Every structure is written in structure tokens, then in C-alpha cells.
A = this chain, B = another copy of it.
Amino acid sequence: MVLTMPSQTKPGEPKSVAVRPPDSREKILEVAEGLFAYGGYAGVGMRQLAATVGLSKSSLFHHFPTKRELYAAMLDRVLSRIAAALDAVSDHDAAPAVRLEEWIDGVVRMLSEDMPAGRLMMRALVDEEPFPAVRLTADAQSDRELMPFEVRLAGIVDRFRALLEEGIAEGVFRPVSIGDSILSVIGAVVFHFSSGDFGEALIGDSIFSHAAVERRRREVSEFIRRGLQA
């Protein structure tokens, strides 16, 4: 399977540069994130979503053929932001321990500024059939290439896996179980930012407050550093 990039500047096709698409779609997805994050897939109806966006139900179905495809498109957007947060910090090739810490910092900061993201990720991971092996816009009309959730997720996970393997091979990390370690990191980082009221009750402050986020960053980094160090 070849994942081609949008191929934006084909010479000879003017394309009338739609730099600013009229964005009903994006608005729908943005509102959908907020609702699905709190209610889950089954807990939010197209009716409710339409009302919140300020459109009719039928308009939603004009943009997305089914509720599931809407949900999948929304999840893809969230995952792409998480992937972007990782891309933003991992350009240079520092030592594994440094890169890992920067990744964790990056993801913690990103999730702290992107409230629905943690919850939506958590829901997607806990729900079986992670919504779904979606194919979307295979026609030439649109450039959007929506990756299946699993593929995009696997891309993120594999980068972690490679980092851990590298660190272990170099002897700077102890020979931990890589799968278990990744699950632990996700548990420590993603679950935290999806724990809402419970987390707030535990730490006595909003989990999204500046102080709580900075403390979380330090605590998680230290835990993981100690946990991995050879």
C-alpha cells in the first residue's frame, strides 16, 4: 500500500487553488470532537451534533455518508495532531533518552492544550474495533486521504518502539518488555489527560492547569527515566 502525499502542485492542472476551503466539514469535525470526547460514539447523536454545529441533520449526512465515517474522520484528525506534535520535536537525532524525554514533554504539552484529544484517544484505544478500517474519498475529486485508524496509530507506536529498541541496543535502557513499556507510557500520559473529574479530585486541581501540567511533565519524565535506565 502506497501512502501518497496529496501531490499538490501538478503542473498543467490549474486547480484554482482552493487554499481556503469553505470549511463546513472542518467545523463539523471540530464540534464533533468536543461532543464525542465527553459522550463517546454511542452517546452522541447526529441530531445533537447537528444542533450544536448549527446545521440540519441532513447537512451532516451530506458531508459524511454515515455516522461512523464522520467519527473516523474526526479520530483521524486527532491522531494527525498527535503525530504532528511528535514530528515537531524529533527532527534531530539526539540520544534515545533525550529524544524520549522530548517526546513525552511534547505529547504532555500537546494533550494539555488540546482537551478533547486525550479523551478521544483513550476511548479509541479502549473501544474494540477502533473505528474503523475506513476507506474514504478514493475518488479523484478530493485530496484528503484518510488513513485507517490502525495504520496511523501503528505509525506513532512504531516510532516509540524503534526508540526503545535503539536505547536497549545501546545499553542505555534496561532490557524492558517493549510492548509493556509502551502501554505503561500511554497509561501514564494519555490516561492522565482523559481522567477528567477523577484526576481533578485526585490532584486537587484541574488536570489542565498550568501548574498541574508542568508537574505532570516532571513526574512522568522522572518515572520513565528511572524505569528505563540501565
- A226 interface residue, CB < 8 Å from B? yes
A199 and chain B: residue at smallest CB distance: B183
Stretch at the interface among A13-21, A63-71, A93-101, A184-192: A184-192
Contact in complex: A194, B126 (CB < 8 Å)? yes
- Could you tell me the distance between the alpha carbons of A130 and B201 in the complex, rounded to whole angstroms? 12
Stretch at the interface among A38-46, A50-58, A109-117: A38-46
- Could you tell me the distance between the alpha carbons of A43 and B36 in the complex, rounded to whole angstroms? 13
Contact in complex: B177, A203 (CB < 8 Å)? yes
A197 and chain B: residue at smallest CB distance: B128
* Chain B residues whose C-beta falls within 8 Å of the C-beta of A42 in the assembled complex: 39-40, 42-43
Chain B nearest Cβ from A202, distance in angstroms: 4
* Chain B residues whose C-beta falls within 8 Å of the C-beta of A143 in the assembled complex: none
- A181 interface residue, CB < 8 Å from B? yes
Q: Which of A157, A179, A204 has the most CB of B within 10 A?
A: A179
Chain A interface, >50% SS class:
helix
Q: How many copies does the complex hold?
A: 2
Contact in complex: B126, A223 (CB < 8 Å)? no
Within 8 A of B (CB), among A118-139: 119, 122-123, 125-130
- Could you tell me the distance between the alpha carbons of A222 and B216 in the complex, rounded to whole angstroms? 20
Contact A219:B177 (CB < 8 A) given known A126-B123, A195-B125 = yes
* Chain B residues whose C-beta falls within 8 Å of the C-beta of A154 in the assembled complex: 201
Q: Interface on A for B, CB 8 Å cutoff?
A: 38-43, 119, 122-123, 125-130, 150, 153-154, 157, 176-177, 179-184, 186-192, 194-199, 201-204, 215-216, 219-220, 222-223, 226-227, 229
Q: Besides the contacts A179-B199, A181-B223, A183-B202, what 13 more A-B pairs have beta carbons closer than 8 Å?
A: A39-B42, A122-B122, A126-B126, A128-B197, A153-B198, A157-B202, A176-B219, A182-B202, A183-B203, A184-B188, A184-B220, A187-B191, A223-B223
